[in-house]
Amino acid sequence: MKKLLKIENLCVSFGGIKALQGVTFDVEEGTITALIGPNGAGKTTVFNCVTGFYKAQSGQLEFEGKSHKVDISKLLGSTFHWQQLFSPKGLKDWLRYNVFGGSHLVAQSGIARTFQNIRLFKDMTVLENLLVAQHQNVSKNVLASLFGLNSFTTKENQALERGLELLEIFSLGEYRDRLAGELSYGMQRRLEIARALCIHPKLICLDEPAAGLNPNETADLSALIMKIRRDFNVTVFVIEHDMSMVMKISDHIVVLDHGKVIARGTPEEVKSNRTVISAYLGEEG
């Protein structure tokens, strides 16, 4: 199968603490890949690197983007080398990525994400949350919008239709004019996933989507994740602590501990892996 995301030898440290020490694994296209590990293993750090919020000190992050292959760390800008002064292209790239670069380019290349502690636009309505996410697709021509030109309204209507459609799928249709902050916790989680899907991603990264949900809601969420993988043709990359959910939905599991990958494989392989058991239960095993 095609590798959608290739992570090679990723190293990140904060101050003196080494959060990631040479993490290497791939996410294959069309799968649901789970990243698990004890607290503080560095799971969210991997996510933040993949989605461009942290810059790795070293290592490769390659993503098969919507149009072409993307080197994620390059999008975040780099330190200046004096040689760049002599190559116009190098200088241009440096300027471009250091001034205009950043995590939004990663998102534009096709990686969407949700957050551990939900980050919705709480004072905006549910529907507006989804419209913001389609910022890239709607017409930004100010004049066209002022005079209500066709080119503007068609695009705008397409965005509205997609938003409404997603709300139906996520059973949030009747709340579209509510403020996002007023929704219940479970709905907010769903809305955040719906919003991430709005940017037409190839890869969607879910950071502990089941945290704080009850068993029923977790089961619904599992079904929903399977559904979006099928219907929206996205690859799902998920961090989750709920093992029953992970085992049920994922095709591939990566286990992280102390900033290192200690095991990879199918749920069955991981379940019976001795290192994994000892990492989770302590060193006795």
Chain residues binding another protein by CB under 8 A are 14, 44, 48, 51-54, 99-100, 102-105, 107-108, 112-113, 115, 119-125, 127-128, 131-136, 138-140, 142, 145-146, 156-157, 160-161, 164-165, 168, 173-174, 176-179, 182, 195-196, 198-199
Query: Are the C-beta atoms of residues 202 and 107 closer than 8 Å to each other?
Result: no
- Nearest 5°: phi and psi at 160? -60, -45
If the CB atoms of residues 174 and 268 are measured against another protein, the closer one turns out to be 174
- Give the shortest CB-104-to-another protein separation in angstroms: 5
- Kindly state the tokens that stand for 116: 């551990």
Q: How far is the CB of 139 from another protein (least distance, A)?
A: 7
Q: Indicate the residue among 172 and 246 with the shorter CB distance to another protein.
A: 172
What is the smallest separation between the CB atom of 261 and another protein, expressed in angstroms? 21
- Min. distance of Cβ 112 from another protein in angstroms? 7
Between the alpha carbon of residue 102 and those of residues 45, 61, 99, 114, 222, the distances in Å are 16, 15, 9, 17, 32
Nearest of 65, 1, 49 to residue 203 by alpha carbon: 65
User: Residue 85 or 149: which CB sits closer to another protein?
Assistant: 149
Token representation of residue 13: 């440290």
Q: What residues form DSSP beta bridges with 112?
A: 204
CB of 118 to another protein, least distance (A): 9
Q: Two tokens at 213?
A: 């949900």
Q: How many CB atoms lie within 10 A of CB 3?
A: 12
160/243 with CB nearer another protein: 160
